[in-house]
A and B are shown apart, each in its own frame.
Chain A
Amino acid sequence: MSERFPRPRAVRLGRTLALVAVLCAPPFYLDAFWLRIGLFSMAAAVGAVGLGLLSGTAGQLSLGHAFFLAVGAYGYVWLAGEPGPGLPTALAAVLAVLLAGAAGGLFSPVAGRVRGIYLGVATLALVFLGNHVLLTADSVTGGFNGRSVAPLEIGGFSFSSESELTVLGVPFAAEERLWYLGLALFALTWFTARGLLRGRPGRALAALRDSETAAAVMGVDVARHRSAAFVVSSMYAGLAGVMLALAFRRVVPDYFGLVLSVDYLAMIVIGGLGSVAGATAGAVFVTALPLLMTRYADQLPLVAAPGSTDGGVGPTEAARYLYGALIVLVLLFAPDGLHGLVRRARARLRERRGGSPPTDTTPRHDPPRPAVRAKEPTP
């Protein structure tokens, strides 16, 4: 957003450095519970950015994101583990991401032909068929009980608690180390996705979303861009899958169900469709909120102690109620998501400061059209 108000370079640099410092600080101050929330949020953010690209920008509704996450997670576990080829873990992680991309590519005969809600439900089939494979292909996936995840090792440095490491008097266990890995991968996602969206491919995808006919007339190769969006989005999902596997240390088929797909859809809509920052905010909202509320729900009024049998509302349930209600409330008062909420708050703040109302000369992202759409508009 800094380009809207050009500031001196030094100020911008200072801001960036401050942000980096804030993001790097938590492992020194927070305990493992908070760090794990951070790890899950970062992984979810990477996945949500990928889905945002596909459903928010390109307008292709996908309920199959959990499947591609599973391909990434299980791909890594199998490639790096025993039984499996037992490759070096860093190589396995890269290959797992490519594998997820390939899975997205294999789906492109469907993705290229099927549109709107039909595509949404066709991708839903991926989740169920994928789950069936995860449960039955025991030798690769470990069946119902899943498999444990080999910790990542890059150049002899292991992202696990095995070797001891102390930085500035703070013992660095797996969570602390994975935090920085997560930050690096998230930064990679952030910059590549923004680059894609602001460049030629992003404009082509947005054109496809708004009208395929018009885009084709302008020289956008419709089928190629539609499947490319699917492949790229699947690769982000695969990366998120690898990050999740590393954070969980064990992958089980149950996790990669429809609920997960729906959660990702909720992330991008709650955050605000079509923006990378929005997808990130939505991912943190959807990931961190249930965990936090489950942890602190017993301090809410009217909540019974866990394990009591008098039919009262337990902490887990209270957390679910609140979470469901919050989704409804956020979207009721901010249909354009958290991203829109922040944008409007900023504009109001600026007005109050007496500045002129924002005269946008920079191209702002258009509010995206729905991913769920009944038909092509016929003007």
Chain B
Amino acid sequence: MTTLIDNVFNGLALGAVYALVALGFVIIFKASGVMNFAHGSLLLLGGYLTAVLHDAIGFAAALALSVLVTAAVAGAMDRFLLQAGGGADPHTAAVQTIVTIGVDIVILTDLSRRIGGDLLSLGDPWGDSVSGLGPVTVADSRIAAIAVSTAVIAGVFALFRYTSWGLSLRASAEDVEAAALMGVRLVRVRTLAWCLAGALAALAAVFLAAFPAPGLERTTGQIALKAFPAAILGGMSSPPGALAGSLLIGLTEALVAGYQSELTLLGEGFGSVAPYAVMVLVLLVRPTGLFGAKAAIRV
């Protein structure tokens, strides 16, 4: 029983962090139709900045600064590299998706060179402390991950729901031409979406590198790949869906890894690929994810 609670809690914490990444991913897709392959690099950039700055200016300031810088980099990437070509080309989104691959290669190469084989500590205040929670002990960083993610995600939903930017974003995701005719500044709305996604990625890096993970390494960015199935499971067009999908992915991964010994038939390390198996099964039943809007086709 304790193992089960342990695993469930681990899964929720993992899912909450995936949700931060997946949400950014979905926001970018909603705003621009681009699959951002550079998301892992942005995440790594955020983590790296926090790691090198926290000694000098303290954790909170370092985190704030790295979130800002990562947001700025993401925004600049969208504005100067992706949108520079203009939107007239019919396969713009596909081309821009590939441009993010190029950007990813450049950022990742540079960060890998700087990080090398090191494990960087982010200097987060939770360290390796644990708390007793009923019958189980859990790492404080995990509790913080759940709390912070929940708060931030609620904040992002509030942004969508109550600000004019959120309204503009939803309108342009619904119908670009109509939104433009209504006076939505597409370029600005879109760039802001990229900034927000970058900020979320930088924040997620903190929890991905915190205890019980050993620290920030150059492969940390690859975790962003787990956000793909999370975002898809929930339905690309639905931010609450991304949240539900992330929790499902986190739970699946933690449970399969936790009960590894009873699942030897599936091979060692199945935990890390189980999310993909779950995703394919879900897509077979619901081709647009659990919460995705079914595209209406009118003729």
Contacts and interface: CB of A to CB of B under 8 A. Distances in A.
A337 to B, nearest CB: 8
Given A321-B110, A331-B95, A125 B280 contact: yes
Interface string A322-360: 011111100110011000000000000000000000000
Contacts of A373: 33, 93
Given A124-B228, A125-B279, A262-B101, A132 B273 contact: yes
A327 B102 contact: yes
B101 A121 contact: no
B269 interface: yes
Interface in B240-261: none
B150 interface: no
Interface string B136-157: 0000000000000000000000
B270 A132 contact: yes
Interface stretch (A39-47, A108-116, A159-167, A187-195): A108-116
B267 interface: yes
B78 to A, nearest CB: 13
A372 interface: yes
Main secondary structure of the interface of A (DSSP, over half): helix
Interface residues of B, number: 56
Contacts of B228: 121, 124
A314 B295 CA distance: 49
A376 B35 contact: no
B105 A323 contact: yes
B33 A328 contact: no
Instruction: Find the residue from A121, A214, A367 having the highest chain B CB count within 10 A.
Output: A121
A273 B228 CA distance: 24
B76 to A, nearest CB: 13
Contacts of A262: 37, 101
A110 B283 contact: yes
A229 interface: no
Contacts of B215: none
B202 to A, nearest CB: 21
Interface stretch (B58-66, B81-89, B159-167, B203-211): B81-89
B225 interface: yes
Nearest to A267: B98
Contact of A121 (B99, B279, B296): B279
A121 B282 CA distance: 12
A66 to B, nearest CB: 14
Contact of B267 (A132, A213, A270): A132
B103 A328 contact: yes
A260 B161 CA distance: 40
A369 interface: yes
Nearest to B230: A121
B280 A110 contact: yes
Interface in A114-171: 114-115, 117-118, 120-122, 124-125, 128-129, 131-133, 135-137
A49 interface: no
Given A114-B287, A122-B283, A321 B89 contact: no
Interface string A253-285: 000001000100110011001000000000000
Contact of B98 (A122, A212, A265): A265
B105 A129 contact: no
B94 A372 contact: yes
A335 B92 contact: yes
Contacts of B9: none
B270 A269 contact: no
A270 B270 CA distance: 35
Contacts of B231: 121
A7 B288 CA distance: 51
B291 to A, nearest CB: 13
B98 A331 contact: yes
B151 to A, nearest CB: 28
Nearest to B77: A328
B101 to A, nearest CB: 6
A114 B280 CA distance: 10
B91 A370 contact: yes
B142 to A, nearest CB: 25
Contact of A328 (B81, B277, B284, B298): B81
Nearest to A121: B232
12 contacts: A122-B279, A122-B280, A136-B267, A212-B297, A265-B97, A324-B103, A324-B105, A328-B81, A328-B99, A328-B103, A328-B106, A331-B95
Given A121-B229, A376-B297, 13 more contacts: A118-B236, A121-B232, A121-B279, A124-B228, A125-B276, A125-B280, A132-B273, A136-B268, A269-B95, A324-B102, A327-B98, A331-B99, A368-B91
Interface of A: 109-110, 113-115, 117-118, 120-122, 124-125, 128-129, 131-133, 135-137, 212-214, 258, 262, 265-266, 269-270, 273, 313-314, 317, 320-321, 323-328, 331-332, 335-336, 367-376, 378-379
**What 4 A-B pairs are tightest by C-beta distance, nearest first?**
A324-B105, A327-B102, A136-B267, A125-B276
Interface of B: 29, 33-35, 37, 81, 84-85, 89-95, 97-99, 101-106, 109-110, 113, 173, 225, 228-229, 231-232, 236-237, 267-270, 272-273, 276-277, 279-280, 283-284, 287-289, 292, 295-299
